[in-house]
């Protein structure tokens, strides 16, 4: 059975000390989860602290927010897949909209990052999604299709490892959430794409992200097309996040 993923993207918040305090509060409130997993994407400097705090809990996982595609070298300021593995990560976000639109990450770079993570046994969480003007122009599915295109020559084994996060750019940090119906339409398109590429579409895990909050999370994770959520702002408070990951499912 696929377990739902509740993923927290802390962005540029919470250094190692704050992350340790956060995890203490979270762990005190969230007993072992049996039908879902909670994944944490802290800043690179806090990866190790969070991985240590989560040690021994098979329902928790830790990932980086970004990686470079090379293993090592003269790339000042970058962090590689083997480095995050060493710090205790099992996953990394790739192609988050802030990487694409604030830092100019290209599809070609995103594709190289996905391959580097897979080569090191790490799970890429590939983020895809359209901007507002693209949704209004009716090109949402072609934008998402282009973002997914970086997966095109991967074999079924590699594809089975990839998690996709659909995050409409206009919904990130804006308080605007896609309706469950909007999300379901794009998720179904993504699942179809994965099936055509040779993945088992029923096993592909597709998360929704963009202004997921305590008051809309139940409707989103209640959709069978939605295999979990990727949450920024609302994941920064361990009490709120602890409640969100324990959202009852009907």
Catalytic residues: 96, 167
Alpha helices, DSSP H only, in the chain? 16-29, 47-54, 81-86, 97-101, 107-119, 132-136, 140-148, 156-161, 180-197, 217-221, 238-245
Selected from 4, 162, 212, 226, the binder of ligand PGA by CB under 6 A is 212
From the CB of 56, what's the least distance to ligand PGA, in Å? 27
From the CB of 40, what's the least distance to ligand PGA, in Å? 13
CA distance 56 to 107: 36
CA distance 218 to 247: 6
Selected from 42, 95, 232, 238, the binder of ligand PGA by CB under 6 A is 232
CA distance 174 to 221: 20
Binding mask 149-188 for ligand PGA (x = CB under 6 A): ------------------x----xx---------------
In the complex with ligand PGA, the residue whose CB is nearer, 11 or 112, is 11
209 touching ligand PGA, by CB under 6 A:
yes
**Structural tokens at position 98:** 């802030």
From the CB of 98, what's the least distance to ligand PGA, in Å? 7
Stretch that binds ligand PGA, among 57-65, 112-120, 187-195, 210-218 (CB under 6 A): 210-218
CA distance 12 to 18: 12
CA distance 109 to 60: 28
231 touching ligand PGA, by CB under 6 A:
yes
Binding positions for ligand PGA, 81-110, rule CB under 6 A: none
In the complex with ligand PGA, the residue whose CB is nearer, 101 or 196, is 101
Given a contact cutoff of 8 angstroms between Cβ atoms, the answer to whether 175 and 212 are in contact is: no
DSSP structure string for 97-119: HHHHHTS---HHHHHHHHHHHHH
In the complex with ligand PGA, the residue whose CB is nearer, 51 or 93, is 93
Residues found near ligand PGA in the complex (CB under 6 A): 9, 167, 172-173, 209-212, 230-234
């Amino acid at each position: 059975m696929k377990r739902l993923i509740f993923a927290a993207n802390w962005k540029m918040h919470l250094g190692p000390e704050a992350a340790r305090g956060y995890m203490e509060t979270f762990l005190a409130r969230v007993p072992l989860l049996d039908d879902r997993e909670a994944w944490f994407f802290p800043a690179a400097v806090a990866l190790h602290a969070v991985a240590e705090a989560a040690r021994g809990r098979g329902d928790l996982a830790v990932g980086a927010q970004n990686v470079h595609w090379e293993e090592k070298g003269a790339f000042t300021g970058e962090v590689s897949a083997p480095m995050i593995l060493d710090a205790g990560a099992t996953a990394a976000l790739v192609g988050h909209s802030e990487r694409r639109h604030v830092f100019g990450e290209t599809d070609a770079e995103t594709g190289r990052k996905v391959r580097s993570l897979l080569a090191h046994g790490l799970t890429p969480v590939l983020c895809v999604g359209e901007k507002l003007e693209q949704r209004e122009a009716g090109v949402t599915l072609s934008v998402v299709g282009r973002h997914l295109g970086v997966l095109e020559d991967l074999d079924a084994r590699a594809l089975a490892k990839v998690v996709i996060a659909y995050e409409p750019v206009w919904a990130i940090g804006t308080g605007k959430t896609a309706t469950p119906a909007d999300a379901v339409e794009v998720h179904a398109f993504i699942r179809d794409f994965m099936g055509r590429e040779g993945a088992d579409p029923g096993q592909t895990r597709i998360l929704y992200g963009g202004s997921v909050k305590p008051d809309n999370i139940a409707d989103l994770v209640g959709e069978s097309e939605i295999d979990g959520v990727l949450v920024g702002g609302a994941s920064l408070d361990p009490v709120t996040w602890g409640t969100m990951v324990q959202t009852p499912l009907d």
